[in-house]
Amino acid sequence: MARLTRPAVIAAFALVAIMLTSAPWLSGLAHAASTTVTIQDFLFNLADVTVNVGDTVTWSYPVGSFAHTTRSTTGVWDSGIATPLTPGQSFAHTFTAAGTFQYFCELHPFMTGKVTVVAPPAPGRNVQVQSVKDATNRRLVTISSGNGHTLSQLSWTVPANAAATALNGTPLPTGIVLPPGTTSTQFHLHRLSGDYVTLRIVVTGSFSGVWNTLVGGGPNAW
Ligand SMILES: [Cu+2]
């Protein structure tokens, strides 16, 4: 657990951006990852996230008017009510075990959230997420499995600066069940703002796991 200063968070994000700019259209999906939950006044956004064992969740409080905390209902982490988070601060926790972890703000107990931690994909199992710009502010995202694995169910987290639609243009729900034997699927990702969209994809099939990818940026940008 560590309280991070705002410059440290910005530096960490810049590093990730640099690493991924080297291959922006094909993300080799790193397993040790960082997920950010944004604290807004009286709201955790997103309030429900899924990560792999070994991943770090950072509660970032960029702007607001009140002080807040993040505290696990089972004592797994607690940012502390004595020194609550104020705008510009953040708090990070690395999850070392699978499970479902509920949390709340001790100053505003109606502010609640949940982190679901799952076992990371086994070595050698892989999912590729490829994205190609195919219209202004739109990329065609292809998710494919390798080595004969099938994708039976996908769910994803699309951040506030983007939207996902099926190829026929209809809005996509955050989860879909795929026909038996599916090894790849596609959808459109639309940029609403920003340079990057952080896409988190949860796969269930002949293997399971969470894959993280930054879409956008580099020579093949939006
Ligand atoms: Cu609060």
Q: How far is the CA of 111 from the centre of ligand 1 (A)?
A: 6
User: Is 132 in contact with 138 (CB distance < 8 Å)?
Assistant: no
Residue 2 banded pLDDT, cuts 50, 70, 90: very low
Statement to judge: residues 44 and 106 lie in one domain: yes
Please report, for the domain that includes residue 214, its CATH number: 2.60.40.2410
Q: How far is the CA of 46 from the centre of ligand 1 (A)?
A: 15
Q: What is the pLDDT of residue 134?
A: 86
Q: How far apart are CA 9 and CA 207, in angstroms?
A: 33
User: Is 60 in contact with 90 (CB distance < 8 Å)?
Assistant: yes
What total number of domains does the chain contain? 2
Q: What is the pLDDT of residue 159?
A: 76
Q: What is the pLDDT of residue 218?
A: 55
Q: How far is the CA of 66 from the centre of ligand 1 (A)?
A: 7
CB atoms within 10 A of CB 73: 11
In a domain, 40, yes or no: yes
Q: How far apart are CA 181 and CA 20, in angstroms?
A: 31
Give yes or no for residue 208 having a pLDDT over 80: no
Look at 88-102, 111-125, 161-175 and tell me which has the smallest mean pLDDT.
111-125
Q: What is the pLDDT of residue 205?
A: 66
Q: How far is the CA of 41 from the centre of ligand 1 (A)?
A: 7
Q: What is the pLDDT of residue 57?
A: 95
Q: How far is the CA of 43 from the centre of ligand 1 (A)?
A: 8
Average pLDDT over residues 176-192: 84
Q: How far is the CA of 84 from the centre of ligand 1 (A)?
A: 9
Question: For the CA atoms of 164, 167, 170, 173, what is the dihedral angle to 10 degrees?
Answer: -50
In a domain, 78, yes or no: yes
Statement to judge: residues 42 and 113 lie in one domain: yes
Q: How far is the CA of 201 from the centre of ligand 1 (A)?
A: 29
User: Residue 38: enclosing H or E segment and its boundaries?
Assistant: strand 34-40
Q: What is the pLDDT of residue 133?
A: 85
Q: What is the per-residue pLDDT across 115-142, written as a single tens digit (0 to 9) for each?
A: 999 877 665 566 777 888 888 888 888 8
Last residue of a domain, one of 83, 118, 153: 118
Q: How far is the CA of 105 from the centre of ligand 1 (A)?
A: 5
Mean per-residue pLDDT over the chain, rounded: 78
User: Which of the pair, 146 or 185, is modelled with greater confidence?
Assistant: 185
Expressed as residue numbers, the domain containing 210 is 127-220
Q: How far is the CA of 80 from the centre of ligand 1 (A)?
A: 12
Statement to judge: residues 141 and 94 lie in one domain: no
Q: What is the pLDDT of residue 88?
A: 96
In a domain, 169, yes or no: yes
Q: How far is the CA of 213 from the centre of ligand 1 (A)?
A: 30
Last residue of a domain, one of 118, 149, 172: 118
Statement to judge: residues 131 and 114 lie in one domain: no
Look at 3-12, 49-58, 173-182 and tell me which has the smallest mean pLDDT.
3-12
